[in-house]
Structure 1
Amino acid sequence: MKRIFFPFTFLLMATTLVVLTACNGGPQAATVTDDAIAVKVQPVTTTRYAPVLKYSGTMASTAEARLSFKIGGIISKIYVKEGDHVVRGQLLATLDLTEINAQVQQASQGVEKVQRDVNRVKNLYNDTVATLEQVQNATTQLQVAEESLRIARFNQQYAQIRATESGTILKKLMNEGEMAGAGSPVFFVNGTAGNDWVIRFGVSDKDWAVLKKGDKAAVEIDAYPTRSFTGIITEIAQGADVASGTYEVEVKVLPNGARFAAGLFSTVQLQPAAEQTVTLVPVEAIAEASDKIGYVYTVNADGKTVTKNKVTIAFLENNKAAIVSGLDSAREVITEGVGYLTDKSVVKVVK
């Protein structure tokens, strides 16, 4: 009986000891240590950079013009067609002058009549039959008639369209026999006399803030796939476009002997002169990202817990991610094991 009782008693005491030890937390602490996620860290570096901005647009001339008649009327004759090259002062189109010439003749006859009235009133005034007021009124009527004749002749002069610059007819918007309204465009002309070619495109408010006149640009044109052209920012809009909400930027392109035409599709790389400070981290440190927002883990001062940092990514280059905000005070970031981490993870840094 004694040989059987002793082992049973010993087993009961051992079981009780295990239970008490577990309550005191001994094995639990060992379990936490065993569950720690092994991670590796790498130092971060800071540098200054100017962002490279890419936009696209079409080629245009600085001498573009929409030509129209000053007055309305029936188009009598159009002398050019789309694609024609024109020179400054060349006659492009005329209106039917029947009505306009009649207005000029009417105004001219009105001047002659009022002139006779003035002469008659002056003679009566010299004979003390008419008053000075009557002479003055007749003189005023003559001046009004002369100005009406001047207006009619001016309209007669602009009842035709002449090229304001040497260039090319890009678009003919109306045909002979149509009724042209005053100021309604009839031709869209691309002037090439100055050989000034520009690309216009809209930029976001953030990019607008770092751009300025004089910043250089590299231009690639689809029509010349093996060549690169130099550009410079000449105009920056000071207000946003109502329709698109973007700010228009104009880049002047140097042809360097190439032949340009309106509408050529182009890609522009802008290099702003303004620089900003960024933090460079290995790409492996980015746990997750969407657009320019990502998350990076750092080890806290206790060496065991981690912080999930929301960062703004400027660009990716050479296996490095440039962070512009979110890691201001961090010296190291976790690069291995980030796929297993959460903001409540316990880690063990492996050298």
Structure 2
Amino acid sequence: MKTLQFILILLLTGGMWACGTKAEQSRDKKPAEQTDDTSIPVKLTKVESVVRSEPVVASGLVSSSEEAKLSFKIGGIIQKMYVDEGQAVRKGQLLATLNLTEINAQVSQAQLSNEKAERDLNRVKALYADTAATLEQLQNATTGHDVAKQNLTIAQFNQNYAQIRSTVDGTVTRKLLNEGEFASAGTTAFMISSTRKNDWVVRVGVADKDWARLKVGNRATITLDAYPDKTFMGTVSEMAQAADPQNKLYEVEIRINPGGVKLAPGLFAKVSLQPAQSRSYALVPIEAIVEGNGKDGFVFVLADDQKRVRKIPVQIGFIDNDKVLLTSGLSGVSNVVTAGSAYLTETSTVILK
């Protein structure tokens, strides 16, 4: 009986020892299994280097290369407006006139002053010949006559420019004043655009760094909202040498080839300019970019321990289909994380596929 009890005790002790050993082994394996479960599988892609000419993208409006803003040279009340918006006009055609009552009176006044100065000069000349007038009096009379003559010229000039005539063959695109209104000197009354078939341009504003890469003759592709299925070709015809004081952008004029399509001033255009100057870019798949915002973005790269990742900022040049061309940020980096990057943080552990 005692022998049977002894055997049972040995069996129970062995079973408890075995269970304890399995429990310890289970505890030892649990952290390893947990690490495998939290590691994020990722894939690395090699960073390529390419040389491209980054396009300059901008938007603007179609207009005529010969565009005139016409105004009165002097101020006054508008007597008559002879044309309306949208009306075709010829070069030299009369468009508007001021009320000439005050202007004609100024011309008459200047004429009378000139006639008086001429009589005074003749009288002083006669007296001077008889030694009854001094040289100073003669000089003063001569100066008075010259001043009166110049005042008459000014009055007559203003009288001639108390009207507006078209400077080009074209169309009235805007009429900004009406009959009976007071027009200040230099205030635009009409905007005229030339209507020659191949005389269309698009004017856009570009930043200084883009202006520096462009030159006259660079090619451009243009799309118009009015013709969404058609692409127009153009070339840079003029470049401003100073920035606009309001928006700080440099105006670039692109001459557009209409290709037989009807164009009109004011059509909205999107322009892609192709500069001749090229530069080197780092090329990565688009899925490598995380938290992209305009030209700024981030990519993940493998840390030194090969188990974690680092998040580094990059500058985006432009997107080419499923690739992104980066201008900076990947110096010394040979591989970036692509597959799995959307699930990563800077504390993530990773495992390579």
SS of 1:308's equivalent in the other structure is strand
Q: 1:312 pairs with 315, 335, 338, which one? A: 315
What SS does the aligned partner of 2:216 have? coil
| Counterparts of 2:178 and 2:84, CA distance in 1 | 10
**2:293 corresponds to 1:283:** no
Deviation at 1:176, TM superposition (A): 2.9
Cα distance in 2 for partners of 1:226, 1:338 equals: 37
Residue equivalent to 1:180: 183
Counterpart among 55, 58, 75 of residue 55 in structure 1: 58
Q: What amino acid maps onto 2:149 in structure 1?
A: E
Q: Structure 2 CA distance, aligned partners of 1:338 and 1:2?
A: 63
Q: What is the CA–CA distance in structure 2 between the aligned matches of 1:246 and 1:224, rounded to whole Å?
A: 27
Pair 326,136 (structure 1): closer, same or farther in 2 beyond 3 Å: closer
1:117 has 2:113 as partner: no
Aligned length, in residue pairs: 348
How far apart are the structure 2 equivalents of 1:131 and 1:292?
82
The one of 248, 251, 264 equivalent to 2:251 is: 248
Q: In 2 relative to 1, CA 224–138 (structure 1 residues): closer, same or farther, beyond 3 Å?
A: same
Residues 1:2 and 2:12 aligned together = no
Gap regions ≥5 residues in structure 1: none
Q: How does 1:180-329 map to 2 (within 5 A)?
A: 180-192=183-195, 195-205=198-208, 207-329=210-332
Aligned partners of 1:165 and 1:193 also within 8 Å: no
Quote the offset at 1:69 in angstroms. 1.8
- Measured in 1, the distance between the counterparts of 2:62 and 2:17 equals 92
User: What is the Cα deviation at residue 117 of structure 1?
Assistant: 1.9
* Superposed displacement of residue 14, structure 1: 6.0
What is the CA-CA distance between 1:315 and the residue it aligns to? Answer: 3.7
Q: TM-score, normalised by structure 2?
A: 0.83
Deviations 1:174-210 (A, max 9, x none): 2333332222222221134595322122334554454
- Determine helix, strand or coil for the equivalent of 2:338: strand
CA distance in 1, matches of 2:35, 2:236: 60
How well do the aligned residues superpose, as a CA RMSD in angstroms?
Answer: 3.2
Q: Secondary structure at the match of 2:314?
A: strand
Residue 72 of structure 1 is matched in structure 2 by 75
Identity of aligned residues (%): 48
Moved more, 339-348 or 122-131: 339-348
Deviations 1:42-91 (A, max 9, x none): 33322122233433221112222221222222333332222222222222
Larger mean CA deviation between 244-253 and 115-124 belongs to 244-253
CA offset digits 1:134-188 (Å, max 9, x no partner) = 2222122111111111112111221222212221122222233333222222222
Aligned to 2:166: 163
SS at the partner of 1:169? strand
Which whole-Å CA distance do the structure 2 matches of 1:3 and 1:201 have between them?
A: 99
- Which stretch shows the higher mean deviation, 338-347 or 158-167? 338-347
- Output the CA distance in 2 between the equivalents of 1:256 and 1:160: 38
1:333 aligns with 2:346: no
After superposition, the Cα gap between the structure-2 partners of 1:103 and 1:276, relative to the gap in structure 1 and judged at 3 Å, is same
Structure 2 segments unaligned to the other structure (5+ residues): none
In structure 2, do the counterparts of structure 1 residues 17 and 56 end up closer, same or farther at CA, with 3 Å as the change threshold?
same
